[in-house]
Amino acid sequence: MPEKRLLFKNIDVPGIDGIEVYEQHGGYQSLRKAVLDMTPDAVLQEVMASNLRGRGGAGFPTGRKWSFLPKDGRTRYLVCNGDESEPGTCKDQEIIYRIPHLLIEGVVTSAYAIGAEDAFIYLRGEFKTGYAVLERAIAEARAKGYVGDNVLGSGRRVEITLYLGAGAYICGEETALLESLEGKRGNPRLKPPFPATAGLYSMPTVVNNVETLSAVVPIIQMGGAEYAKLGTERSAGTKLFSVSGNVRRPGNYEVELGKVTLRELLYDIAGGPPEGHEFKAVIPGGSSVPFLTPDKFDTPLDYESLQAAGTMLGSGGVIVLDDRACIVGSTLRLMEFYRHESCGKCTPCREGTMWLNQVLQRLESGEGRPGDLETLADLCSNIDGQTFCPLGDAAIGALASGLKLFHDEYEAHITKGGCPMGEVVR
Amino acid sequence: MNAENLAKAKELLHRFPKQSSALIPLLHLVEDQFGYIPEAEVQVVADLMGVTPAYVESVLTFYTLFHRQPTGKYLIQVCRGLSCQLNGADELSRFLYDELGVGRNGTTSDGLFTVEEVECIALCKNAPAVQINLDFYPNMTREQLRSFLDKAAKEVRSGA
């Protein structure tokens, strides 16, 4: 089964980043339908019926998340998470830069559904150009009445405010993002209370990923029930997968969940391994999830199947390693990342990532000692589930699985006095 | 801050439902103007926000895109995310260090170039990726980097 494009349907149309071309290809029809023909609750019901799950990584049902907002008359906010920082993930970037109006339409439609007058799009600091792209697109949408005090003459106000982060992976975690959006350090908050009851400025808030909000557009267009027919019963719809690393045709590919196996994605869609090489392992859901080895490549790409195979769908960031890649060096690289990005609030994550880093560095540079592998496993189990936010668990995802799946390779770094594959990762 | 940025700053103080949100955008204005956050500007931002300089410091030091030291006219950031590293990112960094005679986070003595290795910049499908003054340079090679360095140096010499 090839790609199935809903979000990316018109991405290759020249000029689709401009509002005229976007409209010519059916753009803003979903917003029109929602705001002029449907009540906010009817829009929510369609999203519920679609079985859409959050595309940022956690996979929480979107309609349910929206329904948690208390009906107490307080100001509500919609926040779009465009902090895309999970290594291996570059799908939101492509939506923002190439089809900005799809995101804006999704944001306004969703804000209407949840009764939010103010929506915020939080972009990672590196997306400075994306900020300018969205700024221009929002101005176009405002001029056409899709954004502003009186959306399409409905009497409903939806304003979009852009916000640029400044370099911090942790701000992809929704409560850290809210702290950052309030102008503070991006430390995650204690939950509960969840953002639905006390989010931005302590008001009821929904935080959704860029891809999630963009998916609301085809859902309203085709109807939730039709969308739910795509994919599998529990993993409905389409999902963007970012394929990168050692692969012939890296790229963002949109496929129906559960209808394509990892093997089909890697070989049929992404072109297979580079000439003269074989695949060794894949991290299928962004750098925070466990490895899959080629014997599991027939796993269908959906939330449940990947979980059953011992990993996670996560953000859909598929990092591919071929036979040149050193697993120890790769997990060291990832651990350096998590050590750097740990906010420092929780001891197991702050200290644990530093210690893991030291031991991995020791192995890679030929100074590994007997007992180091036990130390690594012990450190992993002392971080697992012991931190405030998911960063701790994320930090050990690849390493803990690597220690099991490639135990011999870690062992060899001790017995052979360093990396048998040379000084760098490949 | 120059007059133009000061005017922007005043607008930012009222852009958000709560003024606290203006802090990070104000720091972006300073970083964009100076290439880093000078000590004196911490005070300026603190005064605008009605907070202490220590509070401003506590926020700005959390974020890697805010620099405490001056950076070069061209801030070259090589992505060292795993996907980029699998595609030769380390060779690009080494090339830049050799070519420019600087170490990690170093700035050339003429103040033209700063080289940093940064975490994943969300261009994984275009590995190895580099950003220069936050503009994306996908699928980079040493040859492309060399011609960028040559062109930039030439422009500066000719007074552009």
Tens-place pLDDT, residues A280-305: 999 999 999 999 999 999 999 999 99
Q: Which of A273, A297, A322 is the last residue of a domain?
A: A322
Average pLDDT over residues A347-352: 96
pLDDT value of residue A1:
65
Query: Would you call A158 helix, strand, or coil by DSSP?
Result: strand
Question: How far away is chain B from the Cα of A166, in angstroms, using its nearest Cα?
Answer: 5
- In this structure, is residue A14 part of a structural domain? no
Per-residue pLDDT band at A185 (split at 50, 70, 90): very high
Average pLDDT over residues A121-134: 97
Residues of chain B with pLDDT under 50: none
Q: How far is CA B150 from the centre of its chain?
A: 20
- In this structure, is residue A5 part of a structural domain? no
In chain B, which residue's Cα lies nearest the Cα of A331? B82
A242/B24 CB distance under 8 A: no
Residue A224 CB partners (closer than 8 Å, separation 6+):
A45, A46, A47, A48, A49, A50, A51
Q: For chain B, what is the total number of helices (H) and then of strands (E)?
A: 7, 4
The strands making up A205-209's β-sheet, listed across from edge to edge, are: A159-164, A118-123, A77-82, A205-209
DSSP A243: E
Query: A195 preceded by cis ω (within 30°)?
Result: no
A90/B122 CB distance under 8 A: yes
The DSSP bridge pattern shows strands A205-209 and A159-164 to be unpaired
Cβ atoms of A200 and A77 closer than 8 Å: yes
Selection from A183, A172, A199 nearest residue A74 by Cα = A199
B125/A246 CB distance under 8 A: no
| B residues 100..129 contacting A (CB < 8 A) | 118-127
Considering only A110-124, A165-179, A212-226, B145-159, which range has the smallest mean pLDDT? B145-159
- In this structure, is residue B65 part of a structural domain? no
Which CATH number fits the domain that encloses residue B46? 1.10.10
A411 shares a domain with A300: no
Which CATH number fits the domain that encloses residue A361? 1.20.1440.230
In this structure, what token pair is assigned to residue A79?
């926040």
User: Position of tokens 């103007």?
Assistant: B33
A313 shares a domain with A224: no
Q: Which of A322, A349, A370 is the last residue of a domain?
A: A322
CB distance from A353 to chain B under 8 Å?
Answer: no
In chain A, which residue's Cα lies nearest the Cα of B15? A161
Tell me the CB-side half-sphere exposure of residue A320, using CA atoms within 13 A: 29
- In this structure, is residue A11 part of a structural domain? no
Residue A408 CB partners (closer than 8 Å, separation 6+):
none
A77 shares a domain with A147: yes
Q: Which of A287, A322, A357 is the last residue of a domain?
A: A322
pLDDT reading at A123 higher than 50: yes
pLDDT reading at A425 higher than 70: no
- In this structure, is residue A7 part of a structural domain? no
Question: How far away is chain B from the Cα of A216, in angstroms, using its nearest Cα?
Answer: 23
Cβ atoms of A384 and A396 closer than 8 Å: yes
CA-CA distance, A85 to A380, in Å (whole number)?
22
In this structure, what token pair is assigned to residue A124?
């990672």
A192 shares a domain with A179: yes
What whole-number percentage of chain A has pLDDT above 90?
96
Which CATH number fits the domain that encloses residue B108? 3.40.30.10
A191 shares a domain with A297: no
CA-CA distance, B29 to B37, in Å (whole number)?
9
Cβ atoms of A196 and A187 closer than 8 Å: no
Q: Is the dihedral of CA A323, A324, A327, A331 positive or negative?
A: negative
- B-interface mutation test, from A90, A330, A336, most B Cβ less than 10 A away: A90
Q: How far is CA A59 from the centre of its chain?
A: 9
A311 shares a domain with A389: no
pLDDT value of residue A2:
87
Q: How far is CA A273 from the centre of its chain?
A: 24
B140 shares a domain with B111: yes
What does the mean pLDDT of chain A come to?
A: 96
Q: For chain A, what is the total number of helices (H) and then of strands (E)?
A: 17, 8
- On whether the pTM is more than 0.95, the answer is yes
A298 shares a domain with A354: no
Q: How far is CA B25 from the centre of its chain?
A: 15
pLDDT value of residue A426:
42
| A residues 32..71 contacting B (CB < 8 A) | none
Q: How far is CA B109 from the centre of its chain?
A: 18
Question: How far away is chain A from the Cα of B60, in angstroms, using its nearest Cα?
Answer: 8
B113 shares a domain with B135: yes
A409 shares a domain with A349: yes
CA-CA distance, B107 to B116, in Å (whole number)?
9
pLDDT reading at A235 higher than 80: yes
For chain A, helix, strand, coil in percent to 5 are: 45, 15, 40
Cβ atoms of A40 and A273 closer than 8 Å: no
Total of domains in chain A: 3
Cβ atoms of A207 and A177 closer than 8 Å: yes
pLDDT value of residue B160:
56
CA-CA distance, B96 to B34, in Å (whole number)?
23
Which amino acid is located at B9 in the chain? A
Query: Would you call B15 helix, strand, or coil by DSSP?
Result: coil
CB distance from B131 to chain A under 8 Å?
Answer: yes
Complex ipTM over 0.90:
yes
Question: How far away is chain B from the Cα of A257, in angstroms, using its nearest Cα?
Answer: 21
In chain B, which residue's Cα lies nearest the Cα of A426? B86
Could you list the residue range(s) of the whole structural domain that residue B28 is in?
3-60
Could you list the residue range(s) of the whole structural domain that residue A125 is in?
19-229
- In this structure, is residue B17 part of a structural domain? yes
Cβ atoms of A372 and A414 closer than 8 Å: yes
Tell me the CB-side half-sphere exposure of residue A175, using CA atoms within 13 A: 18
DSSP A12: T
CA-CA distance, A122 to A81, in Å (whole number)?
6
DSSP class per residue in A89-120:
--HHHHHHHH-HHHHHHHHHHHHHHHT-SEEE
In chain B, which residue's Cα lies nearest the Cα of A250? B125
The DSSP bridge pattern shows strands A77-82 and A205-209 to be parallel
> E strands, A381-425, where?
none
Q: How would you label A85-107 residue by residue, b for 16+ Cβ within 10 Å and e otherwise? A: bbbbbbbbbbbbbbbbbbbbbbb
Give me the helices (H) in B50-87, please: 53-60, 82-85
E strand or H helix at A23: helix A19-24
pLDDT value of residue A422:
65
Phi, psi of A115 (to 5 degrees): 75, 35
Residue B146 CB partners (closer than 8 Å, separation 6+):
B95, B99
* Chain A residues within an 8 Å CB radius of B23: 183-184
The DSSP bridge pattern shows strands B113-118 and B74-79 to be parallel
CA-CA distance, A175 to A16, in Å (whole number)?
33
Cβ atoms of B63 and B107 closer than 8 Å: no
The DSSP bridge pattern shows strands A279-283 and A317-322 to be antiparallel
CA-CA distance, A152 to B49, in Å (whole number)?
37
A193 shares a domain with A96: yes
- In this structure, is residue A425 part of a structural domain? no
| B residues 57..96 contacting A (CB < 8 A) | 58-59, 62-66, 80-83, 85-88, 90
* Chain A residues within an 8 Å CB radius of B117: none
pLDDT reading at A421 higher than 90: no
A410 shares a domain with A365: yes
Q: Which residues, listed in sequence order, are joined to residue A254 by a DSSP beta bridge?
A: A240
Average pLDDT over residues A307-318: 97
